[in-house]
Amino acid sequence: MTLNPADTGFVDHLRALLPADTLRPADPRYLQEPRGRYHGQAGVIALPRSTEEVATLLRAAHAARVPVVPYGGGTGLVGGQIMGAEGPAPLVISLERMTALREVYPQENVIAVEAGMILADVQRAATEAGRLFPLSLAAEGTARIGGTLATNAGGVNVLRYGNARDLCLGLEAVLPNGEIWQGLSRLRKDNTGYDLRNLLIGAEGTLGIITAASLKLSPIPAEEGTAILTVASPAAAIDLLAMARDQLGETISAFELIHRQGLEFLRETLPDLRLPFDDLPDWCVLIDLGLPWGRSPAEALAAVFESALEAGLCADGVIAQSEAQRQALWSVREHIPEGNRRIGSVSSHDISVPISRIPDFIVEGGKRLAALGDMRINCFGHLGDGNLHYNVFPAQGKDRRAYEHLRDDVKRCVHDLTHEYDGSVSAEHGIGRLKVADLQRYGDPVKLAAMQAIKQALDPHGIMNPGAVVPLAD
Amino acid sequence: MTLNPADTGFVDHLRALLPADTLRPADPRYLQEPRGRYHGQAGVIALPRSTEEVATLLRAAHAARVPVVPYGGGTGLVGGQIMGAEGPAPLVISLERMTALREVYPQENVIAVEAGMILADVQRAATEAGRLFPLSLAAEGTARIGGTLATNAGGVNVLRYGNARDLCLGLEAVLPNGEIWQGLSRLRKDNTGYDLRNLLIGAEGTLGIITAASLKLSPIPAEEGTAILTVASPAAAIDLLAMARDQLGETISAFELIHRQGLEFLRETLPDLRLPFDDLPDWCVLIDLGLPWGRSPAEALAAVFESALEAGLCADGVIAQSEAQRQALWSVREHIPEGNRRIGSVSSHDISVPISRIPDFIVEGGKRLAALGDMRINCFGHLGDGNLHYNVFPAQGKDRRAYEHLRDDVKRCVHDLTHEYDGSVSAEHGIGRLKVADLQRYGDPVKLAAMQAIKQALDPHGIMNPGAVVPLAD
């Protein structure tokens, strides 16, 4: 299966089919990604204005066997949006001109948007309709909704509202052969055949291009509250989560684990940031609550705190009594990645393990890494989802360059352990090109074979985002 | 593509591979379905005890090109579990011996069970662990969890907890070639490749056999409450739902629409059943609430009632003040299908339409059916999901036999209208064999082609449940 480059002849052919300004030479910003690991080939960029134009582009690429890279906001962390020198120059299709709000249905708690809409704009449009679109992540000012669906993005509210997959009711998409699937349903119940929607979600642009989506909205909580409670251990944190859920049901919006190491990094690198405790605890959790009217979040959190004290799960805590205090608590959690960045990690990992295995995982991880060398570990993240950011740093006073030779071993050690604990080596960032080898190593072989068969069935020429997710044929 | 029958030679081959009592001649109960529309061929039944035995069966069927019908509880309403005379005698594989509880993880809100476990037993195992498995439907005492997943079953709690798809974290399954996919993950976040889980869910046994599942559990609500409120129209019911959601968030477990016709049928056929109103309202809704501790459901419902009265959405209402009263209100809703059965329908429909279009749909449906003949319509169901049971009955005093000639026209009329309103002609029952032609008529052609390609890729010999969901090749 040989692919052809998006050369002058192909581009001239496209120019004859599309408005004059649809195609442009490669602009460097489409050829870079946030961590600077992948560099795209200078090729051609298409900026379609409609689903029909996307279909025209894919029909032409399908016929000419030209590789296609779908491009959203470019914020992916695993190289899914960058095709390097491993194949012929691709046609990059950016959805940035397809940003229309198709329709809001407040009564139905549904919004339909084009795939190029920025995530923060989707949130804003929901708010203007008196509703909440709960998908929230660091890159929301740049990420586009099509990309967040193609990668099944997560973020801080997954515990309550689910990930991107769970928030999508329907898709409009162009399949690799250039045909348009009109699947922009807004039905909550529809059992009519195979679930093509969930197949495209998380396929990272390898099975088609999402052009529009209908998304679930939620009521805006009437009042929100936040607390940070110290816990003796990750095991105590998990017990506290169960207790809080029994008392507060689905109203817990976030439950984040914070390790002493992260607070120490903040104290060292961001000394002006106010920390909630003078004596730093080994572990603490941030609990965020959104309640319908009729009950005070601070009171509800105080009741949880009291039960946790009685049960010996918790020794100290701070409950926000105002929105300003609430923001201050969140600020601690939100600055942890910045503290990490300033210290400089040896290796970072986006992993998940079954929630009840987290305590053992953390103990065992510490032991195995100590056997490799003297390093500090900041393990924090979305405990309620079993999703840990397990980041490894140089020992105090040492430089990360002294650990270069260890990086691959550290990554392998953490990923092997994750796999042993029935976990995932990509909890929310996806496979892209960075983790294709990991997926082959850790993935179930029967699933991998089924993925290859599905890829071959829907994209027989292999034009869609070659090299991402599914390995290139030899 | 020719399939071969499960003949004596094939059965002898299987007997050599499996324990003696695995295979049995056809027992009539595997060849019938609840509505008596489909009749299976006398064939052979396999009762495997393990996933490995299921794999052995599928490997043999795959090699010999013998059709396979997966069999759960046999409660499906669309003939997905019965292969008639349209092909050679199949191997029926019943999961009834694979009923083990694999593990409960109360801390993680997860239960892992074998596919043959009865749905009510899954609910019970969850309750024993202090948790709720919220999937609940009329057939729960017979339906097996593998079948409810294969058909993506719905029920009364979808509004709050989602359908079967939304409640599944991982699957173990045997693919059509007899290979075992070890996908029994219990991770909440796992972005490692295509979503094979959601592809098998809702595929109705045409892409493989689910042998085990890990399922999401929820906290048991501390207190539950129920009210029935009258509303002037379906439009008012939808406004009331939005208002109730703003006040009560995710704690609304069910929101059911009831039409006067259903209450009249109850009064006529079940005169001892206590109805909540002497003067029957044109429309009313049943609201069910499950709250974490700290607030009385009756008070919360009273507050909604009061707001609804003020807003003119509602004129009268009954709020249960005890569990007995609550059961009495639910009993009205739950007996509506029995009332329908006693009257005897001309045609019944399991449809969904976008929630905000329901009022117009109901008006237009009444007009179009009136043009066909003198009939009564009982339209009720899961309003919060847009899922209506739209059932058509003879005029007062007339016999359904007088409407035989109209049945196909009535069905076509309702399904055409549903399609015009962007709805689904199978909201929760699936396609099976009953609605294959409907899916071809109303389904998106690009999706149908993709389904064929996926079926061909994963089941190249077409052995899995031939004739269900995907049409047989000519």
- A211 shares a domain with A231: no
Q: Which of B164, B195, B219 is the last residue of a domain?
A: B219
Which tokens go with B204? 């109705």
CB contact, 8 Å: B354 with chain A? yes
Which residue in A188, A250, A292 is closest to B386 by CB distance?
A188
Whether residue B194 and residue A303 make contact (CB cut-off 8 A), yes or no, is no
Name the closest residue on chain B to residue A445, using Cα atoms: B181
Q: What is the pLDDT of residue B1?
A: 61
Which residue in B194, B300, B458 is closest to A203 by CB distance?
B194
Q: What is the mean pLDDT of residues A162-173?
A: 97
pLDDT in tens, A90-138: 999 999 999 999 999 998 999 999 999 999 999 999 999 999 999 999 8
Contacts of A233 in chain B (CB under 8 A): none
A157-166: b (≥16 Cβ within 10 Å) or e: bbbbbbbbbb
Distance (Å, whole) CA B149 – CA B184: 14
- Domain assignment present for residue B63? The answer is no
E-state strands within A145-278 = 168-174, 180-183, 209-216, 218-219, 223-231, 252-259
Contacts of B159 in chain A (CB under 8 A): 188
- B403 shares a domain with B323: no
Task: Name which of B189, B215, B313 to mutate to probe chain A: the one with the most chain A Cβ atoms within 10 A of its Cβ.
Answer: B189
Whether residue B151 and residue A449 make contact (CB cut-off 8 A), yes or no, is no
Contacts of B250 in chain A (CB under 8 A): 218, 249-251
Q: What is the pLDDT of residue B428?
A: 93
Q: How confident is the model at residue A368 (pLDDT cuts 50, 70, 90)?
A: very high
- B232 shares a domain with B176: no
Which tokens go with B231? 């509303």
> What CATH number should be reported for the domain holding residue B236?
3.30.70.2190
pLDDT > 90? residue B101: yes
Model ipTM? Answer: 0.96
Cβ–Cβ under 8 Å, residues A450 and B181: yes
The region of weakest confidence among A320-324, A439-443, B242-246 is B242-246
pLDDT > 90? residue A410: yes
Cβ–Cβ under 8 Å, residues A410 and A349: no
Q: Which of B189, B219, B249 is the last residue of a domain?
A: B219
Whether residue B182 and residue A444 make contact (CB cut-off 8 A), yes or no, is yes
CB contact, 8 Å: B139 with chain A? no
- B261 shares a domain with B212: no
Q: Which of A420, A441, A462 is the last residue of a domain?
A: A420
Q: How confident is the model at residue B37 (pLDDT cuts 50, 70, 90)?
A: confident
CB contact, 8 Å: A2 with chain B? no
Task: Name which of B111, B181, B192, B241 to mutate to probe chain A: the one with the most chain A Cβ atoms within 10 A of its Cβ.
Answer: B192
Distance (Å, whole) CA A321 – CA A300: 12
Contacts of A154 in chain B (CB under 8 A): 189, 191
- Domain assignment present for residue B416? The answer is yes
Name the closest residue on chain A to residue B435, using Cα atoms: A192
Q: Find residues 404-443 of chain B whose CB sits inside 8 Å of chain A.
A: 422-431, 435, 439, 442-443
pLDDT > 70? residue A1: no
CB contact, 8 Å: B179 with chain A? yes
For chains A and B, count residue pairs whose Cβ atoms are closer than 8 Å: 284
- B298 shares a domain with B377: no
Q: What is the pLDDT of residue B299?
A: 94
pLDDT in tens, B182-236: 999 999 999 999 999 999 999 999 999 999 999 999 999 989 999 999 999 999 9
CA-closest candidate to residue A77, choices A7, A10, A138, A20: A138
pLDDT > 90? residue A473: no
- Domain assignment present for residue A60? The answer is no
Q: What is the pLDDT of residue B474?
A: 60
- Tell me the one-letter amino acid at B451: M
When divided into structural domains, chain B yields a total of 3
Rounded percentage of chain A residues whose pLDDT exceeds 90: 90
Q: What is the mean pLDDT of residues A281-305?
A: 93
Q: How confident is the model at residue B87 (pLDDT cuts 50, 70, 90)?
A: confident
Q: What is the mean pLDDT of residues A288-300?
A: 89
- Domain assignment present for residue A88? The answer is no
pLDDT > 80? residue B294: no
Q: What is the mean pLDDT of residues B335-343?
A: 95
Q: What is the pairing mode between strands B387-394 and B350-352?
A: antiparallel
Q: What is the pLDDT of residue A271?
A: 96
Contacts of B355 in chain A (CB under 8 A): 105, 107-108, 188
The strand pairing partners of A56, in sequence order, are none
- B181 shares a domain with B262: no
Whether residue B291 and residue A193 make contact (CB cut-off 8 A), yes or no, is no
Which residue in A158, A196, A450 is closest to B188 by CB distance?
A158
CA-closest candidate to residue A470, choices A454, A461, A171: A454
Distance (Å, whole) CA B102 – CA A315: 36
CB contact, 8 Å: A277 with chain B? no
Q: What is the mean pLDDT of residues A409-419?
A: 98
Name the closest residue on chain A to residue B456, using Cα atoms: A457
CB contact, 8 Å: A345 with chain B? no
CB atoms within 10 A of CB B105: 18
CA-closest candidate to residue A377, choices A274, A265, A284, A266: A265
- B213 shares a domain with B125: yes
Contacts of A163 in chain B (CB under 8 A): 189
CB contact, 8 Å: B170 with chain A? no
Task: Quote the mean pLDDT of chain A.
Answer: 95
Q: What is the pLDDT of residue A284?
A: 97
- B264 shares a domain with B204: no
- Domain assignment present for residue A127? The answer is yes
pLDDT in tens, A242-280: 999 888 888 999 999 999 999 999 999 999 999 999 999
Per this entry, what is the length of chain B? Answer: 474
- A278 shares a domain with A170: no
pLDDT in tens, A24-70: 988 889 999 888 889 998 789 999 999 999 999 999 999 999 999 99
pLDDT in tens, B124-141: 999 999 999 999 998 999
- A248 shares a domain with A204: no
Q: Determine which helix (DSSP H) or strand (DSSP E) holds B85, and give its type and residue range.
A: none
- CA–CA distance from B319 to each of B155, B227, B285, B327, B334 (Å)? 23, 4, 12, 12, 17
> What CATH number should be reported for the domain holding residue B381?
3.30.70.2740
Whether residue B251 and residue A247 make contact (CB cut-off 8 A), yes or no, is no
- Domain assignment present for residue B122? The answer is yes
Q: What is the mean pLDDT of residues A158-174?
A: 97
Q: What is the pLDDT of residue A474?
A: 60
Q: What is the mean pLDDT of residues A342-364?
A: 96
Distance from CA of B278 to the nearest CA of A (A): 31
Q: How confident is the model at residue B41 (pLDDT cuts 50, 70, 90)?
A: confident
Q: What is the pLDDT of residue A43?
A: 81
Task: Name which of A58, A165, A171, A194 to mutate to probe chain B: the one with the most chain B Cβ atoms within 10 A of its Cβ.
Answer: A194
Domain interval for residue A391: 223-420
Task: Quote the mean pLDDT of chain B.
Answer: 95
Which tokens go with A81? 């949006």
Whether residue A196 and residue B110 make contact (CB cut-off 8 A), yes or no, is no
- Domain assignment present for residue B373? The answer is yes
- Domain assignment present for residue B110? The answer is yes
Q: How confident is the model at residue B85 (pLDDT cuts 50, 70, 90)?
A: confident
> What CATH number should be reported for the domain holding residue A117?
3.30.465.10
- A291 shares a domain with A255: yes
- B410 shares a domain with B365: yes
